[in-house]
A and B are shown apart, each in its own frame.
Chain A
Amino acid sequence: MKLDFPNVGETLHHHVLDNGLSVYLLKKTGYEKTYATFTTKYGSIDRRFKLDDWVEVPDGIAHFLEHKMFEKEDGDVFQQFGRQGASANAFTSFTRTAYLFGATSNVRENVKTLLDFVQYPYFTKESVEKEKGIIGQEIQMYQDNPGWRLYFGLIDAMYVQHPVKIDIAGTIESISAITAEDLYLCHRAFYHPSNMALFVVGNIEPEEMLDLIRDNQSAKSFEDPLLSARETVEEPTSVRLSERVIEMDVSVPKVMIGYKDTPLAGEDGLKQELTVELLMHALFDTTAPLYTELYAEGLIDDAFSFDYTSEESFAFAALSMETPHVDAFVSRITAALEKPLHLDEATLERKKRMMQGQFLKALNSPEFIANQFSRYALNDSNLFDIPALLETITLDALHEAYSRLFRQDQRTVCIVKKP
C-alpha cells in the first residue's frame, strides 16, 4: 500500500507480510544514508505475561536480551555490520526494543543481517554470565547520574503498581537471576514477526527493498504466536507519594514535578498527546506569562524543560529544573496550575504553527522518522497524521486536558540534593 502525504512531501509504503511482520519503506531523495529499525513491542514493563501459563521473568530482562542478541556462535554481529560499513546499535525503552543500523553502502546485505540476527537467538550460560559484569557497570554508571536518578525516582514515586516504576536495566540483584533459558523464552514470546515492525528509510528503491525483505522472511518458518496476554495492572489515578527526596552529592539541586495522566490507546492516545503538548507549550514556553514572571524572580531559566510521555498503559507530564531555590520553584509552579486556565485562540494558533514547524524540521532526520513512526505504529497510530490532527484540536480540548491533568492528587515532586 502506498500512502502519499503531500503536505509533508513524503511517500510511505506499508505492507504486512504473510508472517505478520509490518514493513514500512520511505525513500528520502538525495540522501546518502539508509537507516533501518527493527522494533518489537516488548520493553521493561513486560515482566509478567501469558503463554500457555502465566510467566514472570526477572526485572531488566528485555534490556539484557537486547545486549545478548548481538552475540552469535560465529562472533559479534556488531563486527559483521562493521565489515559491511554499517554502524549498528540498539535500545530498550519501557515498551519497545529496537535494533538499528545506518549505512551508506551494502544496504541490502545490512538489511538481511538486521533481520537475521534479531530472528536468530543464540545464548549460552557462559556468555550470559559474562554480560552481567558489563550491564552491572552500565547500571552503576546510571546510579551516578543525577538526571537519571531524578527521572526514575519520580516515576517510582508516581506509580503504585505499574511496572513502568522499575528501572529499564533492572538492578544488579535482579539481573543476577537471568538465565539463557529465560532469554530464549522471552525471545519466543515477543520476537514473533506479528509483534514487530521493520522501518527502512533513506537511499532506497521501495519496490526492490520489499522484494528483498519478502524473500528473506518467506525463507524462514515461524511457529504460531505464543503470547496470549500481557499482565494489566489496576493503577489508581492518584500518585503513590506526593514527594520524594534523593540524597546525592550534587552541586545544584535538581527537581522534577510529575503529573500522572490517564492513558489512551491508538489515535485517541496520539490526539491526547498532541493536546497536552500544545497545552504545555502554552503554559511553559519562554513566551508564557508564567515563565516571564518566574524568570524575573530568578526561579526559572535555560535549565528548565518539560515533557509528556504517552504510551498505551501509562502517561504523565514532567517538568524539570535545576535550582538552589527548589521549594520556591515548586510552590510557584504548583500554585499557578491550581488556578483556572487563561488561554486565547491567538496563542493556540501560534502554538500550532510552532508544533507544525517542529514536526517538519524533524522530518530531516531519518532516525526521527523511523524511531517515532515505529513507536506510533506499535501503538496503532500514525506519525504522519500529526499535522492534520493538530489542526483539529480546540481550545476546549486544552481546557479539558488542563483540568484532568493538573490535579493535586496526581502530582509528585522529586528532588535530588545534597544530604
Chain B
Amino acid sequence: MKGIEQFQHQLNYSVYPTKKFKTTTCLVSFAAPLSAETIADRALLPFIMEKSTATYPSMELFHTPLEELYDASLYAGASKIGKEHVIQFQLEVVNDHLVGEDVLSQAIKLLEDVLLRPNVYDGSFQPLIVEQELRLQRQRIESVYDDKMRFAQQRLQDMLGGELAIPSLGTLEQLKDVTPRSLYEAYDAMIKNDRVDIYVVGDVNREQVETAFEPLESLGSKLVRELPVPKVGEFQRLEEQQDVKQSKLHLAYAIDVDPRTEDAIRMQVVNGLFGGFPHSKLFMNVREKESLAYYAASQYSALSRKLFVYAGIDGANQQKTEDIIAEQLDALQNGDFEEETLQQTKEMLFHQRRQLGDNPRQLIAWMSGADVRPFSLDEELAIIEQTTGEHVVELARNIKLQAVYCLKGGEA
C-alpha cells in the first residue's frame, strides 16, 4: 500500500494518512510468546480492561464519555497469531471536521487511561469485576460447543498439537488459577515485556500521532516475532457423535512452505483453485456437481503451515465426500485444471488485495502482518500474476493429508 509511513521510537508505528474515511482508527497491539501457562490470564485481561479505568471505575462511568464523543468505539480483544499471543486495543472515532468538535484527542486520552491507569487497587484488579468476567469467560469457553463448525475445527486442531492445540480462550481448568492478582501480574508483564505496535489509519499526520501516543512511549520491549516450527506427526483420524442434524467434516493438510517466501504467496493461488472461492474445485464438485453440501471450502494458514478443508454434510455421505475431496487434490497435483480457472483465481486474489485499502480495519490487519511478509502489496500482486500451472502442480504435491475429524449426527 503506497502512503504507509513506518517509524520506530520505543514503540513501532505504522500510519496511513487518508481523508477518504469518515473515521480515524487506531490500534495498539501487545504481542508476547504464546504459552499455555499465560493464555487464560491474557485472554481474559482485555475484557476487563475495556470496561473501566481508575479514573472511570465502572462501565457506566467509562462508557458515558465514549457515547458523548459520537460513539467513539473502544474495543479490546485477544488472539493467537502463529507463535504469539496478541492483545489489541482498537479505537475508532468520527473525524473532527464532520462534527465540529475535537473528538480524536479526547478519545485517545481515554484509550491511554485504559492502558496506563487500569482499575486496580493494591496490585489487584477489582474482585467483583473479575468474578463477573470469569463467569462470563467460562460461559464463552462452554459455548464453543454450540457453534458446531467452530467446535469441529477446535477438535481438529487439538489433534494437531503444538500452538494450534492451545485454545485461544484457555481451558476451564486453566481458568481456575486466574485471580484478581494473577490478572494484574499479566497486565504488568504485558506493558513491560510485550512488543508494542501502533497502527493509525485516517485523517492524521505523523507528528499528530507521535504527540498523541507519546505517553505510551515508556511501554514494551523490542521483542522479535518468532515463527512456528511445524511438526508433522503420523496421520490421524477421529470421529465423534453428537445430536446434530448436519455432520461436520474437517481435514488438515501439512504444507512445507516457509511463510516468508514467494511460495507462500503462490500457495494462495493453489488454495484458491482447491477450495478458496465459489469457482474452486471443492465448491464445484462437492456442492454444485454432487449436491453433498451447502458449504465446502479450504483455507490456507501460512504461519502454521497448514491447509484446512471443511464441509457440512449428511453423515451417510462422509466417505463419498472424503473421496471427492481427495480426487480434487489429485487433480491439482496432476495439473488437471483449466488455464482459465487459474486466471480467474488470480483475478479474485487481486481483487481481495486491491480492496484492502477501502476498509480501515482490514488495512490495519494487513499492515500488522508486514514483519513476517517481506513483500509490498505490488510485489505480492506481481508474484500472483507470475504464478504458473507448473508452480501450482509443484506446490500441490507438497500438500499432505495429516488429520481427519468428523462430528457425526445421531444420538450422542
Contacts and interface: CB of A to CB of B under 8 A. Distances in A.
Interface of A: 8-9, 28-33, 76, 78-79, 82-88, 102-105, 130-131, 133-135, 137-138, 140-141, 143-144, 146, 202, 249-252, 285-289, 291-292, 295-296, 298, 301-303, 322-324, 350-351, 353-358, 360-361, 363-366
Interface string B143-163: 101101000000000000000
Q: Which 10 A-B pairs have the closest CB atoms?
A: A357-B70, A133-B291, A30-B20, A357-B71, A104-B354, A85-B347, A251-B142, A137-B294, A138-B294, A33-B355
Contacts of A360: 22-23, 70, 94, 98-99
A133 to B, nearest CB: 3
Nearest to B128: A296
Contact of A82 (B69, B73, B279): B279
Contacts of A102: 351, 355
B19 A30 contact: yes
B20 A29 contact: yes
Interface string B292-315: 111100000000000000001110
27 contacts: A28-B358, A32-B354, A82-B277, A84-B347, A104-B350, A105-B347, A134-B294, A138-B294, A140-B245, A144-B148, A202-B358, A251-B142, A252-B139, A286-B59, A286-B63, A295-B59, A298-B132, A303-B139, A350-B64, A350-B67, A353-B67, A353-B68, A354-B67, A357-B69, A357-B72, A364-B21, A364-B23
B355 A78 contact: no
Nearest to A353: B70
B18 to A, nearest CB: 7
B23 A82 contact: no
Given A292-B60, A357-B71, A364-B22, A251 B312 contact: no
A78 B347 CA distance: 13
B360 to A, nearest CB: 7
A249 B242 contact: yes
Contact of A356 (B70, B143, B295, B351): B70
Given A85-B348, A295-B59, A251 B143 contact: yes
Interface in B249-267: none
Contact of A322 (B64, B143, B355, B360): B143
B94, B350, B412, most chain A CB atoms within 10 A: B94
Contacts of A364: 21-23, 359-360
A356 B101 CA distance: 13
B243 interface: yes
Nearest to B21: A364
Given A249-B243, A292-B60, A322 B351 contact: no
A351 B246 contact: no
Contacts of B60: 286-289, 291-292
A88 B92 CA distance: 29
A350 B18 CA distance: 29
B68 A79 contact: no
B221 interface: no
Contacts, number: 183
Contacts of B182: none
A134 B291 contact: yes
A287 B23 CA distance: 23
Given A138-B294, A324-B139, 7 more contacts: A31-B358, A85-B351, A137-B294, A250-B145, A251-B142, A287-B63, A356-B99
B142 A366 contact: no
A104 B312 CA distance: 31
A222 B54 CA distance: 67
A137 B313 contact: yes
A249 B72 CA distance: 38
B281 interface: no
B355 A287 contact: no
A79 B279 contact: yes
Contact of A146 (B23, B47, B146, B343): B146
Interface string B270-291: 0000000111000000011001
Interface of B: 18-23, 47, 58-60, 63-64, 67-73, 92-94, 98-99, 128, 132, 135-136, 139, 142-143, 145-146, 148, 242-246, 277-279, 287-288, 291-295, 312-314, 340, 343-344, 347-348, 350-352, 354-355, 357-360, 412
B67 A285 contact: yes
A3 to B, nearest CB: 18
Given A140-B246, A252-B143, A286-B63, A295 B347 contact: no
Contact of B291 (A130, A146, A295, A324): A130
Nearest to B25: A364
Contacts of B63: 285-287
A26 B312 CA distance: 39
A302 B94 CA distance: 24
Nearest to A102: B355
Contacts of B244: 144
A82, A85, A140, A250, most chain B CB atoms within 10 A: A82
Given A78-B278, A79-B279, A351-B67, A85 B350 contact: yes
Contacts of A30: 18-20
A29 B71 CA distance: 25
Contact of A9 (B22, B136, B279, B357): B22
Contacts of A366: 358
Contact of A287 (B18, B59, B360): B59
Contacts of B351: 85-87, 102-105
Contacts of B145: 250-251
Nearest to A84: B347
Contacts of A32: 354-355, 357-358
Given A32-B357, A144-B148, A303-B139, A82 B347 contact: yes
Contacts of A31: 20, 358
A291 B278 CA distance: 44
Contacts of B20: 28-31
A32 B59 CA distance: 39
Contacts of B347: 82-85, 105
Contact of B71 (A84, A86, A355): A355
A292 B58 contact: yes
B246 A358 contact: no
Contact of A353 (B71, B135, B295): B71
A287 B52 CA distance: 12
Contacts of B288: 76, 134
A353 B67 CA distance: 7
Contacts of A361: 22-23, 71, 73, 92, 94
Contact of A252 (B19, B146, B242): B146
Contacts of A87: 348, 351-352
Given A251-B143, A357-B94, A302 B47 contact: yes
Contacts of A287: 59-60, 63-64, 67
A288 B93 CA distance: 22
B36 to A, nearest CB: 22
Given A31-B20, A32-B358, A358 B314 contact: no
A350 B22 CA distance: 20
A131 to B, nearest CB: 8
